[in-house]
Chains A and B, each alone.
Chain A
Amino acid sequence: MGAWEIIIVTVCIGVVLAVSVAAVIGKKKGKHSCSGCAGCPHAAACNRRSEGSKAK
């Protein structure tokens, strides 16, 4: 395997691990399987921090 192949495989493994870890952490923090549906009444709870920062 050359340098490019190693980079590609590493990035792919990194993406899969990052998504898996983020899902586990998200679930522990209480964001139960949030898929961020538009209009979801839980969206504010999930994004409370970002809403605060957007406030006038």
Chain B
Amino acid sequence: MKRFALAGNPNSGKTTLFNNLTGSTAHVGNWPGVTVDKREGTYKKLAEPIAIVDLPGIYSLSPYTPEEVISRNYILDEKPDCVINIVDATNLERNLYLTTQIMEIDVPMVIALNMIDEVEKAGDKIDAAALEEKIGVPVVKISALKGKGIDELMRRAYECSRSPRLGKTVLEGGKLMHLIGDCRIALEGAGVDNALFHAIKLAELDELEVKQHPQSAKMVEEFKKTFKDDTFGSDFEAIVADSRYKYISHNYSSALTKNKRSAREKLSSSDKADKILTHKIWGIPIFLVILFAVFHLTFSENFLWIGAALPEGWVSGEGTAFEGVFGDGGINSIGVILFNLLDLATSSISDAIAGAMSAGGVADWATGLVVDGIFGGLFAVLSFLPQILLLFLFFSILEDSGYMARVAFILDRIFRRFGLSGRAFMPMIMGFGCSVPAMVNTRTLADESERIATIRVIPFFSCGAKLPILTAIAGGIVQMTGLGNADIITYSMYVLGIVVAIAAVLIMRSTTMRGEVPPFIMELPAYRAPQFRSLMMLLWDKLKHFVKKAFTIILASTIVIWFISHFSFNWKFLPDSEMNDSILAGIGMLVRPLFTPLGFGSQLNDWGWVFVVAAVTGLIAKENVIATFGTLAACITSGFVADEALEGVDAVAEMISATGIGIPALIAFIAFNMLTIPCFAAVATAKAEMPDKKRFNYTLVFWVVTSYLVASMIYLIGEWWWTSFIWVAVWAAAITLIVLYNKGKLKNLKLPKINFKKRA
């Protein structure tokens, strides 16, 4: 099968074209660096099926970051049958820089002038035929988003792939070309493929090239001694870049006719928005307000706080089937309404199944297994699906509009003080969806220490799977205290995650992972209206995988939990009221003293082990925390704790209060689950992305220590306020030690050595 590679600058629309060609639903976003790994699909509209390879965006073939290396190596080593070079037509001159480099490789290529609709909308014109004549490779105008020109592009790419193409350079200058020519002859003599490309890279002293061809690099050094440029001296990279841009501006730009008036208008409207949204002082408060608005729309039970102004019982629907769905005192936000409706539906299904099983004469224990065990756990998690999707939708809208790229820019000033660049914000914000792609996205960070620090703190940005924990416990706190601000509790916990992440990075970057923060250069994409199709595709993807996960891992976990919570160590079946003698309870009680400093250990009553068990099952998948609560709560409340049978989240809230746990311990429980070792998938990704096993092991220790420390601090200060003085003293001592360590004053400190061998 023929293989066509999609290569181009970041945010030029490669993945949109890939989705269009292959019918895939790969993630697209309005910011540079969304794609960090190559992906494959198939195009079937030509005479034969074509494998399409979507490559991470690159500005040039001299890579700085790991994902840029992937693109370069693929084009050079895998030798695709054709390279489709996607060029952002709205930024032609800069995008053609990469084109001039790909042209130097012996590979057939076609240029796709993407976003041509935006160019025409702005009143500009690009003469594709003139450009094609000057470059010497086919140029096709397309709009990947609207599907225009795609068939023509693929037809011409297919034609090109039939005949080989030799690389040619656009570089000029007698001495420079003489140097490159000498290098090329030497490399060809050594049997190196793509000798022209490698010769130019060697002349630029490209790091990767020097590593690959050390002998040739020495030879180039000898050649260079006879060469000196008047402007750049011996900076060959600058000489080559200057030569490329001269060529681009002298030749290619002539194919572009700009409508100056429209360009000015467009610039001013973009500037107007950026003047407010990226303001030096107001930028960050505006971001926090937008973030809070998102949480308010998703979690609030008193939307816009207008409940007090409404007549009593106006929205509660007392006595109807929908009692409390749309509000109870205050109006529920859209997220809460959807949650309540799904909760109502799942409760009705549970009741119907319980009724049918009872009528069919099924034994009580089997009914308990199906209704309380399986559906209790499964539905407790599924109820949160609308809120997860809604939150994900809001973040996707912010991302697609181009606002998130601005947030990275405004946060750079703050992040820089803590040892990170604003670029690190993009993977962190992805962490709100799922830690796995977020950790992979750190490949866009050039500095290794910065990358490791970012991977370590990504799980602190609460992912969609942790959302049910936050919401359910926040709901429990609201029920226990009588306050109606579940959204503020949830928002505060998200902010706590961000604060802990920043503090952790600060400590890491000022002790063991010190280093210069690389300069932050990021192209700010134009503001665009989010694409409905792209948003729906993302939501569909999320929904599909959530449901799949619910009916596989979570379903299996609830079954196992029900069994081990209803059998004793001597394999005797236990009714709900005797669950404290079960295998699960035994394990929970054995481990729970460890969690006493966190508030959900030995100080709780007999049922307190449920917290420890839920935290441990959460290591498989974070949804399991609430699934475990759902399964256990349905059994505990239906058989023992409550007078009447409760279902879903109400049962969870009832069980929580029955354990005798206090508010500080509940907040500590959320914090522990948010900050501790993430799910297995995220752990596996962290292991794959870490440079070595040693640092991966440190990462595991870091997650455990951070979560334990923060959760115990929350519990102790919340329970006994005066312990805050002790914590202040501990932190002051830690900061002093860090400062002394950084000043090198601890170098001569001799710690007592323990000789384990002697003792043995």
Contact = CB atoms under 8 A, between A and B. Distances in A.
Interface in A1-56: 1-2, 4-5, 8-9, 12, 15-16, 19-20, 22, 32-45, 48, 51-52, 54-56
Contact of B392 (A16, A19, A38, A40): A38
A40 B362 contact: no
Given A4-B366, A32-B688, A34-B681, A55 B440 contact: no
A28 to B, nearest CB: 14
Nearest to B563: A12
B40 A48 contact: yes
B209 interface: no
B552 A22 contact: yes
B684 A40 contact: no
Interface string B525-566: 000000000000010011011001100110110011001000
A15 B557 CA distance: 10
B323 interface: no
Contacts of B45: 56
A48 B51 CA distance: 11
B119 interface: no
Contact of A37 (B40, B44, B436, B684): B436
A12 B362 CA distance: 16
Q: Indicate the size class of the contact surface on chain B.
A: 35 or more
B593 interface: no
A27 to B, nearest CB: 9
B340 to A, nearest CB: 25
A39 B27 contact: yes
Contact of B24 (A9, A12, A36, A44): A44
Interface in B673-692: 679-681, 683-685, 688
Contacts of A37: 433-434, 436-437, 545, 681
A42 B40 CA distance: 10
Contact of B559 (A4, A16, A36): A16
B487 to A, nearest CB: 24
A51 B23 contact: yes
Nearest to A7: B366
Nearest to B370: A8
The winner among A35, A42, A48 for most chain B CB atoms within 10 A is A35
Contacts of B434: 35, 37-40
B60 interface: no
Nearest to B20: A56
Given A4-B366, A19-B552, A12 B433 contact: no
A4 B263 CA distance: 73
Given A19-B555, A35-B549, A40-B437, A55 B44 contact: yes
Interface in B334-392: 357, 360-363, 365-366, 369-370, 374, 392
B325 interface: no
Interface string B36-66: 1101111111000100001000000000000
A15 B560 CA distance: 10
B43 A38 contact: no
B205 interface: no
B321 to A, nearest CB: 30
B9 interface: no
Nearest to B392: A38
B621 interface: yes
Contact of B42 (A20, A41, A55): A55
Contact of A15 (B44, B54, B430, B555): B555
A25 to B, nearest CB: 13
B463 to A, nearest CB: 8
B635 to A, nearest CB: 15
25 contacts: A5-B362, A5-B365, A16-B560, A19-B555, A19-B556, A22-B552, A33-B681, A33-B685, A35-B681, A37-B434, A37-B681, A38-B27, A39-B437, A40-B436, A41-B437, A41-B441, A44-B24, A44-B26, A44-B39, A51-B22, A52-B41, A54-B22, A55-B22, A55-B41, A56-B43
Given A38-B538, A41-B39, 7 more contacts: A16-B560, A38-B392, A44-B26, A44-B54, A55-B23, A55-B44, A55-B49
